[in-house]
Structure 1
Amino acid sequence: MKMNKRPLPLATICSYEKRIDPTPDYQRPPAWSRKQKQLLLDTILREYDIPKMYWRAVKRPDGIEYEVVDGQQRLRTIWEFRKGQFGLARDMDDINGYKVAGMKYDDLPLDIRTIFDAYPVDVVVVEDATQTEQEDEVRDMFLRLQNGTILKAQEKRNAMTGAMRDFVKDIAQHAFFQNCRFSNSRFAFDHLAAQTVLLEIEGGPTSVRDSDLNQLYEEHRQFATDGKIAKKVRRVFDFLLRAFPEKTPELERYNVITLYCLVSILIDGYVCDGLEVRLKDWFIDLEAERKEDEAKSDEGKDIQLVEYRRLISQSTDSQESIAARLDFFEKRFFAAVPDIEPKDLQRGFSHEQRLAIFRRDGGVCQLKLRCDGIKVAWDHWHADHKVPHSKGGKTIVANGQVACPDCNFAKGATASLVSAAE
């Protein structure tokens, strides 16, 4: 890898615009505010030094000859100002006796425009970086050059190499993300995609903080992008897209993660034909209920909705928070859709179904054969089929009820006597 420094005037740099890619895939998106851009222009017009730019020499079919390794924000600012897309700060001091405050490029006095056009910038051109090893060197250079700036963790991961990074970037392009409320600012889609991949690898709720995602990228550089996990991730996002085929303002970052976990469970264990619309309707209704509850007085609020609000307000990337939010979603969803059937015919109710049954019945025995409807503890009750499984009763929430052990055993004994008599 060779590096050659070339001092180029801004007029030349502007003329190169169509030949330069300012955001190759390891770069972060534009992030500067107008104030930051105006400060750079103030520096240039006062002929103070600005940092070097680093470009990588390439030969691409689309006519691009350079990719920006460092200096993207400065380069975009220079191009935008030259094209009149914004003006100088309104409180900018005079330059060489000329009033320039608030002016765009075409409004500037000729002498000041000349300062801009002739201003030299040191551009370091990186050459002979076409092979894999050299590609890694360029990405490493990008990270080193950004070390003095504020790069978010996902922006740093985006500059890493490996199959996991490439797979996450591919998932971040899924059409589902376009229907969420939030944008892809600073790789927000990539961040969420990485979290869902880690959740799928771990088989459920786990910590998905930045340190965990960094480890994910490092340990899965050889990730099988056509393997079982990758296919499952795509299936879940395809399901979510069918459920939310248009822009949905209720889809915030924190509930996308929880929805992903819920859909992953549904796909694995339940018959999902036509379930997408029911999931969407349930979710929209839940968000409406939550917002209505927030407007109530403290005494009138639903305790579980208050707890859910706390869970989405702090430490949302912790294993405990994700597990608790998923538990809340499971209870609510299976109670609202009580006829959802397991894929395999089974006698016992699943964990998700038991949660919904217990919540719906308030933990109170419904059989009342040996009791008057006692309230049972979570670890001391039976999920009973209203219509017995032996007589065709389905293992669905609608056909389940809470039974204390004494009543359930009594029901079993009665059923045995009836069967013997027959």
Structure 2
Amino acid sequence: MRLSKERYPVSVLKELQASIDVRPEYQRPMVWTLKQKRLLIDSILRGYDVPKMYWHRQSQNSEFEFHVVDGQQRLTTIWEFCDGGFALSKTSDPVDGIKTAKLRYADFNTELKKRLHLYSFDIVIVEEATQNDDEDEVREMFLRLQNGTTLKAQEKRNAMTGSMRSFVKEIAQHPFFESCKFSNSRFTYDHIAAQMTCLEIAGEPVSVRDSDLNRMYEEESDFDPKGKVGKKVRRVLDYLKRAFPDHTRELERYNVITLYSLASSLIDNYVHQNTEQKLAEWFIAFETERRADMEKDEDSRDVQLVEYQRLTSYSTDAAESLAKRLEHMQRRFFLAEPDIELIDPTRIFSEAQRLAIYRRDGARCQLRLKCDGTEKLKWDHWHADHIKAHSNGGKTTVANGQVACPDCNFLKSNS
């Protein structure tokens, strides 16, 4: 990788606009505030020193001549101002006696335009990369140049190399995210796609904090996007898109991960064909109930919904929080849709089904062959019994399940 330095005035930067890509895939989105933009233009007019930029020269057959490694915010601010995108602050002081407050580019007199157009930037040109290692060096340069600036964790991961990064970028483009309420500001879709992948690799609720995702990017740098996990992530997102084909305001950032885990469990363990509409209708009803509950007096609120709300507010990326939120969603979903059966009818009731049966029956034996059914059974001292015997074709569903004390269930089995 070779570096050379050139000096371009603002007038040339504007002329080169069509040949410069300020958003190569490792770049972060535009994040400057209007105040920061105004400050840059004011600094240029006053001839203050502005840091140099770094551009990466592309091959001749590329759409752009340069990719911006560092200087994205400065370039876009200059272009936006020259195109009339914003005005200077109303409190802006005069420049050498020339008024600048509230002026747009079109309002500039000849002297101000000359000051703007003749101001020159130092540009460090990174010569064209022809090897993969060179591209890695450019990404490494980007990360180092951003050191000390406010880059979010996902913005840093976006500049990493490896197939995990590429897979997450691909998944972040899935149309399901278009159905969500939140936007892709500062790679939010990438962040959630990375969390989904992390959960799928583990096969259970685990911590998906930034440190965990960083470790995943590093340890799974040779991740196979066509492997079992990659296929499963796409399959779950396809299912969710069928469930929510349109923009759905209930799909908030805090609940999408839990909903993903619920859908993933459905696909792995249950007969889920044609259940997309059921899931969507239940989820919207659940969110409607939860929001209405929040408006009630504290003494009137549903204790379980209060706990769920707490879990969505604190340590939301922790394993315990994710597990408890999933447990809550599963219990309510299977109570609402008790006829959804396990994929393998020979398997016993799942943990989620057992919990739904246990809550529905109030933890009391429904058989009452040896007991009167008044005693509450402890969680580790009861059986999930098929109402219609499994040997007679009874399905392993919540609707066909009931709480039984061990003595009654053994007596039923013997008879």
1:420 corresponds in structure 2 to none
Deviation at 1:407, TM superposition (A): 2.1
Decide whether the 8 Å contact of 1:92 with 1:102 is kept in 2.
yes
Partner of 2:4, secondary structure, is strand
Alignment of 1:283-298 (within 5 A): 283-298=283-298
CA apart distance, 1:61: 4.2
The aligned counterpart of 1:207 is 207
Residues of 1 paired with 2:35 and 2:215: CA distance? 36
Equivalent residue, structure 1, for 2:394: 393
Write the mapping of 1:124-273 to structure 2, written as runs, cut at 5 A.
Answer: 124-273=124-273
Offset at 1:347?
Answer: 5.1
Q: Is the alpha carbon distance of 1:301 and 1:60 closer, same or farther for their aligned partners in structure 2, counting shifts above 3 Å?
A: farther
Number of equivalent positions:
414
Residue in structure 2 matched with residue 419 of structure 1 by the alignment:
none
* Structure-1 separation of matches of 2:412 and 2:140: 69
Q: Is the 8 A contact 1:88 1:102 kept in 2?
A: yes
**Residues in 2 aligned to 1:362 and 1:308: alpha-carbon distance in whole angstroms:** 20
Partners of 1:318 and 1:217 in 2: CA distance: 18
SS in 2 for 1:173: coil
Q: Write the letter of the residue equivalent to 1:390.
A: S
Q: Within 1, Cα distance between the matches of 2:300 and 2:368?
A: 31
- Calculate percent identity across the aligned residue pairs: 58
Match of 2:334 in 1: 334
Letter in 1 for 2:181: R
For residues 179 and 145 of structure 1, the distance between their equivalents in structure 2, rounded to whole angstroms, comes to 35
Letter paired with 2:408 = C
| Residue in 2 that maps onto 1:282 | 282
Structure 1 CA distance for aligned equivalents of residues 267 and 351 of structure 2:
15
The alignment's TM-score, normalised by the length of structure 2, stands at 0.98
| Partner Cα separation in structure 2 for residue 401 and residue 57 of structure 1 | 69
Q: TM-score, normalised by structure 1?
A: 0.96
Which residues of structure 2 form unaligned runs of 5+? none
After TM superposition, list the pairs within 5 Å mapping 1:342-361 onto structure 2.
342-346=342-346, 348-361=348-361
What are the superposed Cα offsets for residues 269-312 of structure 1, whole Å, 9 maximum, x if unpaired? 11111100000000000000001111111111111000000000
Would you say the 8 A contact 1:258–1:322 is kept in 2? yes
Asked if the contact 1:98–1:109 (Cα under 8 Å) also holds between the matched residues in 2, the reply is no
1:11 matched residue in structure 2: 11
The farther-off stretch of 401-410 and 88-97 is: 401-410
Per-residue deviation, 1:62: 5.6
Q: Distance in 1 between matches of 2:270 and 2:186?
A: 36
Q: SS where residue 29 of structure 1 aligns?
A: coil
* Counterpart amino acid of residue 9 in structure 2: P
Per-residue CA deviations over 1:367-388 (Å, capped at 9, x if unaligned) read 2222232211111111111111
Cα RMSD (Å): 1.1
Contact 1:209 1:317 in 2 (8 A): yes
> What is the aligned partner in structure 2 of residue 53 from structure 1?
53
Secondary structure of the structure 1 residue equivalent to 2:64:
coil
Structure 1 contact 347–389 (Cα < 8 Å) conserved: no
Q: Does structure 1 residue 324 correspond to structure 2 residue 327?
A: no
Q: 1:45 to 1:299 in 2, by over 3 A?
A: same
Counterpart of 1:364 in structure 2 is 364
Cα deviation for residue 351 of structure 1 reads 1.3
Distance in 2 (alpha carbons) for counterparts of 1:288 and 1:133: 52
Give the AA of the match of 1:313: S
Rounded to whole Å, the distance in 2 between the matches of 1:280 and 1:6 is: 57
